[in-house]
Amino acid sequence: MPELPEVETIKRELEPLLVGRKFAAVSVCDTKIVSPLTVEGFQAELVGQGIEYLRRRGKYLFLHLSSGKCLMVHLRMSGALLFDPPQPQSHVRLIFFLDNGSKLVLVDRRRLGVVSILDSEKPVENRLGPEPLEPDFTTTEFSRRLQGRKAPVKAVLLDQKVVAGIGNMYADEALFKARIHPLRPAGDLSPQEIQRLFSAIRSTLRSAIENKGASVDTYQRPGGEPGTAHFNFKVAHCGGEPCPKCGTPIQRLLIRNRGSYFCPTCQKD
């Protein structure tokens, strides 16, 4: 968390609030988050800069600046960006003050988030696979990226070099919708299974975006509201509950140290 739908929601909701504004000041409450820059260096890169546009790539958010550089935000497990929060927040790491008196606050309970000033998106772009919702991501391309892989398909879906933006929750949901066991070797999937999984990934992500992401832990939208995508979850975070299709209890297992939820009847190994 947050995964592609959550970051896309944050981007869409912040865009009209930030584009055209300038950074008036920056308060760094946790020096770790701006490392390797110094606090003074980080502030110097931002103060006075205009925000020209926002872009999401995978789970990364980019604020493109009038200097030609960009502010990269990776929220990792527990980060959130809140716009003009009405109450004091805990675990504040950064406060961005805007020229109209508003402020954007980055909170992060686990201190895992990363913020950087980059000359371009290229350093991040070079380590990411295609966007799963873009037109150039096709079944053929997806099949090519799975070909020959012996790792469990769940682990492969979480590899950001294979497909960008898919995380633990939505991988579980897509595999359930495609009726594929998470331990199946990715390279052993049939063309029909690949097509089912391809379609399931896209429909799962689109539905989650429509529902503003999933608030199962610390995720908040910029206004502080929760997302509602988790109300549609069939298996993710549903361990022990009956499968909505067959009634079999949803099971949880560890795959590469990540908890995975699935139905042992609907997703046979």
- Taking the C-alpha atoms of residue 33 and residue 91, their distance in angstroms, rounded to an integer, is 12
DSSP-derived secondary structure letter, 203? H
Residue 245: active-site member: no
Element (H, E) at 95: strand 92-98
Which one of the listed residues 121, 131, 258, 264 is annotated catalytic?
258
Longest dimension (CA), the chain: 58
Residue 241: active-site member: no
Residue 182: active-site member: no
Which one of the listed residues 3, 6, 8, 173 is annotated catalytic?
3
Which one of the listed residues 56, 59, 184, 234 is annotated catalytic?
59
Which one of the listed residues 2, 5, 132, 222 is annotated catalytic?
2
Tokens of 205: 């992500």
Residue 245: how many other CB atoms lie within 10 Å = 12
Q: List helix spans (H) across the chain.
A: 4-18, 39-46, 122-125, 139-146, 153-158, 168-178, 191-210
Which among 128, 106, 127 is positioned nearest to 42, based on CA atoms?
Answer: 106
Residue 12: active-site member: no
Per the CB < 8 A criterion, the answer to whether 84 and 102 are in contact is yes
| Catalytic positions, written as ranges | 2-3, 59, 258
